[in-house]
Structure 1
Amino acid sequence: MRRQTIDPRIRAKVIATYGNRCWLNMPGCSITATEDDHIIPFSHGGRDTVANIRRACKHCNAMRQD
């Protein structure tokens, strides 16, 4: 599976719409989002859209996996 880069314009819209705090808030969350997280994973057909992306901290994004 390829590791894709989110278009900076999409990322900016995601941050403007939902903020830049981790949306997952799992145990150990660092709160500050540094990564893009697909709600429906890219590997399962999720798209790079504002509706399907939220910001997540590295810790929570790694815990979530696909």
Structure 2
Amino acid sequence: HQLKQKGRTSTSLYASVEQRLEVISKAWQNLRVTEQHLTLLNEIPPSFRVLTLQHSPDRTHLYCAAY
């Protein structure tokens, strides 16, 4: 987190940590957004409705997406 805040994500330390997290952490794997993230919507049955709510960082706005 500190490396990312300082804009040092291109360092070998950052790459090493990211690779290690990818191997050992299921939570880290689930955080990654892949190129196929939109195809996940195709796997949802038509009878399901999805509503996503997210606050802005300063919590002054609430964003919503419906599918």
Query: Comparing both chains, which one has the higher relative contact order based on Cα–Cα distances under 8 Å and sequence gaps of 6 or more?
Result: 1
Q: Which has the larger radius of gyration?
A: 2
Give the TM-score taking structure 1 as reference length.
0.23
